Structure 1
Amino acid sequence: MNGNVTYYYGHALTGQGIKHLYKEMMDEAELVYILQGAPTFKGSELLKELGYFYVKQGFAVEWYKHALLEDIVEAVYVQGCNRLFVWSSGWGIEPVFLGTKHRVMSFYDCLEEIQLERVGEQLATAMTERESWREKCISKLNNAKKIHDDWEVVTQSCMNWQALNDQVENLKTDVFQSIVLNKTGVRTHRLLGTLTPRGTENTVDSITKNVSRRLMIKGKPGTGKSSLMKGLADEANARGLDAQIIWCGLDSNSVDMVIIPELNFCIFDSTEPHIFDPQDGRLGDEIFDIGKHCAISQEAEVQIEDIRAKYKEAMQDAMGYSKRYAEAEYTIRRLLDNCVSSSLWREKTAPLFERLTK
């Protein structure tokens, strides 16, 4: 019987820089394969092969997608045996527990020096361009986040916070009832989505495909969505329940979803840029409306319209830069792929699959 695949983004382009959660996932995993090497399309294909290897054995596998290149996988996490395979170039990941849970494989020796010398200048140019477009993209996202912060200040001044607190306390009673488990609740971390060259994208449908009860928060920016979800995660852990935090792809400090696996429950921000509504025939889908506690005045609405236009413009600029960033990334991988020795690659990767069967 085959397993299944759940998709996440491996990293996100945020207003604070590029965010990934691989170090947290390394803590979560029981065994980590750190695959070191230059960024190539062949590395992604290897990770896909590893993912399919476990799916065919009946495991649930998580694939971590690249923010820029649509079909690229940069890591695979195998649930059940808790194994993480991550292509570490670019993330500053180093092994800590050598000889125990961390295993390192280097693929740099699969590159042919003669081929590298032939494309060296092209590669250097593409690397420089990639860095330039990355910086411009992140700068625009930082600007967009600051504009979004201004938006939040306006809406926060219009909130009835006591009414929201009462609603959240009622939600906690509804979700947790009298449940207390005699164990320590575990917290894990994932990303919801990111800006891509195609616009903002997320994997909500994949992440929540097996969750029975989904609460979709409706509310304006700055009205407490992230805070209430953090509070629910804290409450779950205090009761001995596990909680998975799914982080925002624009503001790296903001939470967009919380999953409580033992209750088969999740709650997530379903406002722009990831609008979701209850699906027909999916009985566990509900709206959790906190927008009713925010009474926007006419003056505030005028301010918001101006802010919204500036925010949209900043995000469009960031997306434009992300396209150029992606083009440079594609060029680098194409050039390096042509420098990989196929025979050395086969020799290097074959024992990996052999070890996994033992």
Structure 2
Amino acid sequence: MSTLKERHLFPGGNTSKGFYSFYRYVLPQDDAKRILCIKGGPGTGKSQLMKKIGAHFSQKGYTIEYHHCSSDPNSLDGILVKELNIALLDGTSPHIVDPINPGAVDEILNMGDALDMDMLAKKKKEIILLNKEIGKNFKRAYRFLGSAKCIHDDWSNLNYETLDSNKISNLLENLKNNIFKTDKIGYGNERHLFATAITPDGIITYADSLSSDFKKKYVLNGGPGFGKTDILKFIGSCGQKKGYFIEYMHDPFVPERIEHIFIPEVSTCIITNNEINQANYTGIDYNLLDYTKFNLSTNKLDDIKYNSELFYNLVNKGISLIHNAHVLHDELEAYYIKAMDFSVADDIYDKVIKKLEKYE
């Protein structure tokens, strides 16, 4: 089992399909003792509140998951106190979270109670204009990421046609037999999140720290089209059929694809070095170029070079627009920070701590 007392993840991402959310997997309703959905405008201290509560319970020895915002990785979109099954989630746009089972499981916490509404009303035009500009930048960013997906598909297809299905089948069987020595009873649960995100600061990944205490680490090396997702889905599905809990980390660019899987009960993970994270993880390495039946022709290699250059240009343009949105968001936050009574925010923090300590 994993012994990490602090985990960092992304519950949502800026993808080629727009904003994509896995918020429901931070803490499922059936497992939760309490989920607080935090409302309030930008700059109302939602992230600061979560950081303080995370630090408070961390000092008590609990495992804390910090769920970072893909549009501002220094901010939090959620925290989970694992052993207590309690969570706080940012319930504002674009990842609107509302109570599913009000009172029984979740409730709203309104940081807006600390705002001077009259002060904000005087800045109505500026706030509306900034919100519109932020929205335009995100829309443009998602158009560029969507365009990059078309190029990525072509790049992927060129590689895929070289794969040797027999070699891949042998790899799948070897991995399955090496990882799952025994069967458990029942069907294993699953969880879906992101370890990597496309952010205003570029591509950020937490896979290194997430995988740091796993005893066995398999690493798949290869660009698009080499079947990494198929391998990960196959192993994950096998594990669940054998009764194991599987944590799926999704590709931040194409969220239906899988980037890594974690199997804590056997202290095993399969992680990928790919064209998005451009990481250099080491472990039991599998270079997927070794699982091809022929080398690409010079013409095809030229096509791949062209595709990759165009792909990174489009992705980088998307990142620059997300960065623009972040700069504008900081301007927007400034209006709210000026209108905040932080003594009220401190009172909210004290009440939340008392509320959550009841679950110890």
- Give the alignment's TM-score, normalised by structure 1: 0.93
Which amino acid in 2 is paired with 1:217? L
Instruction: State whether residues 15 and 250 of structure 1, in contact with CA within 8 Å, keep that contact through their aligned partners in structure 2.
Output: yes
Structure 2 equivalent of residue 339 of structure 1: 339
Residue 312 (structure 1) aligns with: 312
The residue that corresponds to 2:183 in the other structure is: 180
Deviation at 1:10, TM superposition (A): 3.2
- Per-residue deviation, residues 65-104 of structure 1 (Å, max 9, x unmatched): 1223242112101111222110110112111111211122
SS at match of 2:65: strand
Alpha-carbon separation, structure 2, partners of 1:85 and 1:302: 49
Structure 2 CA distance, aligned partners of 1:13 and 1:248?
11
Structure 1 contact 225–269 (Cα < 8 Å) conserved: yes
The CA deviation at 1:238 is 0.4
In structure 1, the partner of 2:119 is 115
Q: What is the CA–CA distance in structure 2 between the aligned matches of 1:269 and 1:278, rounded to whole Å? A: 8
Partner of 1:270: 273
> Are 1:61 and 1:78, in contact at CA under 8 Å, matched by a contact in 2?
yes
**Aligned match of 1:228:** 231
Contact 2:44–2:340, Cα closer than 8 Å, also in 1:
no
Report the equivalent of 1:62.
Answer: 65
Q: Does 1:163 align with 2:167?
A: yes
Q: Secondary structure at the match of 2:84?
A: coil
- Structure 1 residue corresponding to 2:142, chosen from 131, 138, 148: 138
Paired with 1:271 and 1:278, the residues of 2 have a C-alpha distance of 10
Deviates more, 1:46-55 or 1:197-206: 197-206
Structure 1 range deviating more: 20-29 or 4-13: 20-29
| 1:246-325 to 2 correspondences below 5 Å | 246-277=249-280, 285-294=283-292, 295-325=295-325
SS at match of 1:345: helix
Report the Cα offset of residue 299 of structure 1.
2.4
Report the CA distance between 1:41 and its aligned residue. Answer: 5.6
Q: Which moved more, 1:166-175 or 1:253-262?
A: 166-175
Say yes or no: does 1:350 pair with 2:350. yes
Cα distance in 2 for residues equivalent to 1:297 and 1:41: 57
Deviation sequence 1:124-170 (CA, Å, 0-9, x none): 11101100000011111111111101111111112112211111111
CA–CA distance in structure 1, aligned partners of residues 112 and 207 of structure 2: 35
2: CA distance between counterparts of 1:41 and 1:222?
Answer: 44
Of 223, 226, 241, 1:238 maps to 241
Deviates more, 1:342-351 or 1:92-101: 342-351
CA contact (8 A) 2:222 2:289 kept: yes
- Counterpart CA distance in 1 for 2:131 and 2:91 is 17
Structure 2 counterpart SS, 1:38: coil
Q: Deviating runs (4+, > 3 A) in structure 1?
A: 275-279
1:327 equivalent to 2:327? Answer: yes
Instruction: Give the Cα–Cα distance (whole angstroms) in 2 for the partners of residues 337 and 314 of structure 1.
Output: 35
- Counterpart-to-counterpart distance in 2, 1:47 and 1:14: 25
**1:87 lines up with 2:90 in the alignment:** yes
Q: Give the one of 105, 112, 122 matched to 1:101.
A: 105
SS at match of 1:80: helix
CA contact (8 A) 1:155 1:222 kept: yes
Number of residue pairs aligned between Structure 1 and Structure 2: 351
Q: What code does the residue aligned with 1:260 have?
A: I
Give 3-state SS (helix, strand or coil) of 1:334's partner: helix
2:308 partner letter: R
1:233 & 1:309 partners in 2: Cα distance?
Answer: 33
Q: Is the counterpart of residue 125 in structure 1 residue 129 in structure 2?
A: yes
1:43-82 per-residue CA deviation (whole Å, 9 max, x = no partner) reads: 1110000101110111111111122324211210111122
1:199/1:171 CA distance change after superposition, 3 Å: same
Supply the AA of the counterpart residue of 2:105.
K
Is the 1:134–1:322 Cα contact (8 Å) retained in structure 2?
A: yes
> What SS does the corresponding residue of 1:244 show, helix, strand or coil?
strand
Partner SS state of residue 97, structure 2: coil
- 1:218 maps to 221
From 29, 35, 38, the counterpart of 1:35: 38
- 2:37·2:90 contact (CA, 8 Å) conserved in 1? yes
Residue type at the aligned position of 2:63:
A
- Per-residue CA deviation, residues 249-284 of structure 1 (Å, 9 max, x unaligned), is 1101110000001010000111233244455xxxxx
Amino acid at match of 1:113: M
Q: Aligned AA for 2:25?
A: E
Percentage identity across paired residues of the two chains: 16
Is 1:150 paired with 2:154?
Answer: yes
